[in-house]
A and B are shown apart, each in its own frame.
Chain A
């Protein structure tokens, strides 16, 4: 489904990604692990089409289509979803309005009819329960005054509503207590399906106890230096990144943070 070849990307002239190769098939869950500053967040931002990053070499295709030629919103409509590490607030715009606009943009793209307010309200209420968010959150401004955990649950709710082809979860576990982690993980597990892929970007192993990946990749200095199965994550937890000959801070500065 997703194929990344020799991907190089830089921000403000500074190279962060230095030749990433990755293949993700439908139905698979991949975890990208790595120390701070290794380029994990940059990779998610580049996949989603953040124009602050320049792709200087390599290719990204989704189902054979060249993603690099598509604008951010076009990629989204093709099924790329990014759950943000730090979801931004949009004051005064209700979550409900925002989500319905997004869902209808996707539906229009697929040639489906737009959902009216009542239909959408019903759907959104159901999905909000799935991530344990009170439906009152739908009426509040997008992420406005949400706690860290509520923001993350709101992101997963959006993924459940938009039903993407490829869901990229950028440090979705950061800042979550153990109960919230459980809720978010349940949400992500509900997303798992044969025709969907999930790419989890995380610093810590603990998320992977809840969402068990098929593959684990270690990213350091802008490259994938090791790939393996579930056991690789456990090994990392036990031995730390030092075991692979990398220090937490020695990699390029992660400009996305």
Chain B
């Protein structure tokens, strides 16, 4: 069993499945960022004047901000003028009116990724918004959703078609001045998804966005805004992949969720951006701000994330619990291997009475990777009777990786209760020996042990995603035993 570490390290070697590049004619901005670039971006998208002003204000603010350096990650300084801020496949008309008009190359791309967009083959029961580099290329199931009163469209369309809703909520949860990457995103976001679920409506199907980075030297800056009106319910999923390239690429998204009285939003992510090669070359920098505001009483926001990709991840899906009795949840599996670095966790900000939050975080580190959980649980003076339960478990595979836990607790209310549990364990030689002694292949054994470790989180994912996530972990760990 002394060789298990070596075996396990073998197992972590794997091929990235989604690393292909789509050859498509694109309109791409020259690298560089200034007010003219933002004006051009806004003009291309036919945005109203207020939007351009919003962007410029964010940009000026951003210029005065510093890139955060407190995360437990290291990467060379990013030159923000060497990035192109817009790249979109060329098309004849302004917007494709139906899927038939979408470039077949794009449809093929999504098919290859397992996300068929075409009418005949589209995923049953799941509506998809497909975002390719800087633009949304297609949105499925628009009609049945419209019948239910649900708005599901690209954020660019929403800015044009539903300006009141967008103006009311955009930046209300994550203001432009919130942090460096959110500021950058507010200035240059190019597309993303908008969802509005009206009062009392239970969204009839799962909504999802599939993000694909294709062009080289571009950043992807998407913006997602989901508003669940009183008594409504929506479950939303996002998936992400990118080609294999030697250069790092920046992905700085902002996601804002708003839940009014008695509304529920369930937001699930399977993040599989290109993680870089086994020597740590290339990969996506995933610097993302995700936050939900439970502004109504009895509202609930639940984040579930499975993070297996990206070279560097900096991400803290959070909940601001303002409404009385509102509930925030965070379920996370973060797997790092080779030279991947992840600093991820959540913030649960309890403001209202009897607000409750649950944090279950499972970090798996393999190879030479570094995996940190960073979480803040904060109780404001008004958080009478509020409660939090946090459980952070780390699993180490091999002996060259690192796991770190940085929990922060701030309480300004004496009646608030917080419970914190943390464990660190290894896929032990004894566990491997038991499995192998029963005739089970070492690779299958590691994958079984890791899946068992993540079970509490996987059961929160929608069915199709849970299977997908299990498989993804299997692929991610392939070759870690030999």
Contact = CB atoms under 8 A, between A and B. Distances in A.
A77 B439 contact: yes
Contact of A52 (B1, B434, B436, B452): B1
Contacts, number: 80
A92 B452 contact: yes
A81 B449 CA distance: 21
B451 A87 contact: no
A142 B438 CA distance: 13
A95 B1 CA distance: 23
Given A52-B1, A52-B2, A105-B439, A72 B433 contact: yes
A102 B441 CA distance: 9
Given A93-B451, A97-B448, A141-B452, A162 B439 contact: yes
Nearest to B430: A88
Contacts of A141: 452
A84 interface: yes
A73 B439 contact: yes
Contacts of A106: 439
B460 interface: no
Interface in B411-434: 428-431, 433-434
Given A52-B1, A73-B441, A90 B449 contact: yes
Q: Majority SS of interface residues in chain A? A: mixed
Contacts of B206: none
A93 B448 contact: yes
B434 A50 contact: no
Given A71-B436, A106-B439, A92 B428 contact: no
Contact of B452 (A73, A84, A93, A109): A93
Q: Majority SS of interface residues in chain B? A: helix
Contact of A88 (B434, B448, B452): B434
B437 A92 contact: no
Nearest to B448: A93
A49 B1 CA distance: 9
Given A51-B1, A52-B1, A105 B452 contact: no
A51 B2 contact: yes
Nearest to A82: B437
A158 B438 contact: yes
B1 A102 contact: no
A50 B1 CA distance: 6
Contact of B451 (A49, A72, A92): A92
A253 B436 CA distance: 26
Among B431, B435, B441, find the residue whose CB has the most chain A CB atoms closer than 10 A. B435
Contact of B439 (A52, A76, A84, A97): A76
Interface of B: 1-4, 428-431, 433-442, 444, 448-449, 451-456
In the A-B complex, list the 5 residue pairs whose CB atoms are closest, starting with the nearest. Answer: A92-B452, A93-B452, A102-B438, A76-B439, A105-B439
10 contacts: A72-B433, A72-B437, A73-B436, A73-B437, A73-B442, A90-B431, A90-B449, A92-B455, A105-B441, A105-B444
Given A51-B4, A92-B452, A162-B439, 13 more contacts: A48-B437, A49-B436, A50-B1, A73-B439, A76-B436, A76-B438, A88-B430, A92-B455, A92-B456, A98-B435, A105-B439, A105-B444, A106-B439
